[in-house]
Amino acid sequence: MFQVSVRDDEVDIVIAAIEPDLTSFLEEWRAVFSRFHLIIIKDPDIKGELKIPGGFNYDTYTKADIQQIIGPSNAATFSGYSCRYFGYLLSKKKYIISIDDDCIPAKDTKGIQVDAIAQHINNLSTPATPFFFNTLYDPFCKGADFVRGYPFSLRNGVSCALSCGLWLNLADLDAPTQALKPELRNTRYVDAVLTVPARAMMPMSGINIAFDRELVGPALLPSFKLAKEGKFRWETVEDVWTGMCVKVVCDHLGYGVKTGLPYVWRKERGNAIGSLKKEWEGVKLMEEVVPFFQSMKLTPAAKTAEDCVIEIAAAVKEQLGRIDPVFTRAADSMVEWVQLWKAVKTRT
């Protein structure tokens, strides 16, 4: 099966430090992370110095660094989980992997620790098959292949631009579901990877993802901010919005998106009932957002990820801006992000 060889120095691991003490988190991941370069972004809103154990190759960035590089007026864009986007902005590597700091390595059904980085790299370095669904899931996984009836003309697949991993224990549920089912935990480890079909939307979670920066980097953007956005995953929908943006970009440019392996083990964090007040705005807005992205078609003039984001932003402002001002702000932020992306890449 076709696979691109990936060197360790082609990968950046971006970590959003929502808590200052990363000792426990990094020790759990030492066996996996120590081979790679880390970009650690400190949430501008947290106090105290970062605590990072020795033995890692890393660069850290704080509020002062953010303000120095992009200016004080844009610094607010990178608060909370959105601080990881600053790492995406600064990375020069082909592949970026991001795992939230409330996650530790998972174990598979045999009790063997999962190497999430290796699996993400495998997902990205083997083709995706978005134009015809293979019922044995990813045909490029070990032990799998294309099933009878799969067109030979489509078996080369396309470049995979985004890998969306999953979670054991505390699944990435929304606040209403978690509040109604506080004891619900995900214990099912499904040993499978599949390509999300073309034109199908999905709720991407930023908890455990990887992407090809050269293909879709500018489409991973911090643009959708709720008025009462909080510090926990179920208090924000920024990653869900971003996921739909990047999926439209992938569909238009002919790239693929995979989901499934690798899993991480997600620890307990936050209070769902308290968070419900913050996320409820986003839950309601998704009813408008999903049909919009499902019907989105970009023009032939959009030939790069940057072009696609600009076209999506214009459509957001025109079609969704009249519904709620949050969409107008999101559209403006998308345009500003592309400008910032180009400016930073030009300087570096």
Cα 57 from chain centroid?
Answer: 22
Across the chain, which has 348 residues, the per-10-residue mean pLDDT values are: 79 96 98 97 93 98 92 80 94 97 96 97 97 96 94 98 97 84 93 97 95 98 75 72 97 98 88 64 86 97 98 98 93 95 86
Q: Give the length of the chain.
A: 348
What is the set of domains in the chain, with CATH numbers? 11-347 (3.90.550.10)
Do 202 and 164 contact (CB within 8 A), yes or no? yes
Residue with tokens 């499978």: 192
What lies within 8 Å, CB to CB, of 97 at 6+ separation is 11, 12, 13, 14, 116, 117, 120, 121, 209, 210
Q: From CA 10, how far away is CA 92, in angstroms rounded?
A: 9
Distances (CA, A) of 208 to 97, 109, 222, 339: 8, 19, 16, 27
Q: From CA 79, how far away is CA 226, in angstroms rounded?
A: 12
pLDDT for res 73: 72
Burial of 287 (0-12, 13-18, 19+ CB in 10 A): exposed
Q: What is the phi/psi pair of residue 81, to 5°?
A: -65, -20
The residues pairing with 169 across neighbouring beta strands, listed in sequence order, are: 186, 266
With 0.75 as the threshold, say if the pTM is over it: yes
Express each pLDDT in 272-298 by its tens digit.
Answer: 666 666 556 777 888 999 999 999 999
Q: From CA 250, how far away is CA 211, in angstroms rounded?
A: 11
pLDDT for res 272: 67
pLDDT for res 1: 45
- Both tokens of 250, joined, read 């992938």
Count H helices and E strands in the chain, helices first.
Answer: 11, 9
Express each pLDDT in 219-237 by its tens digit.
Answer: 999 988 776 665 556 567 8
Q: From CA 148, how far away is CA 115, in angstroms rounded?
A: 32
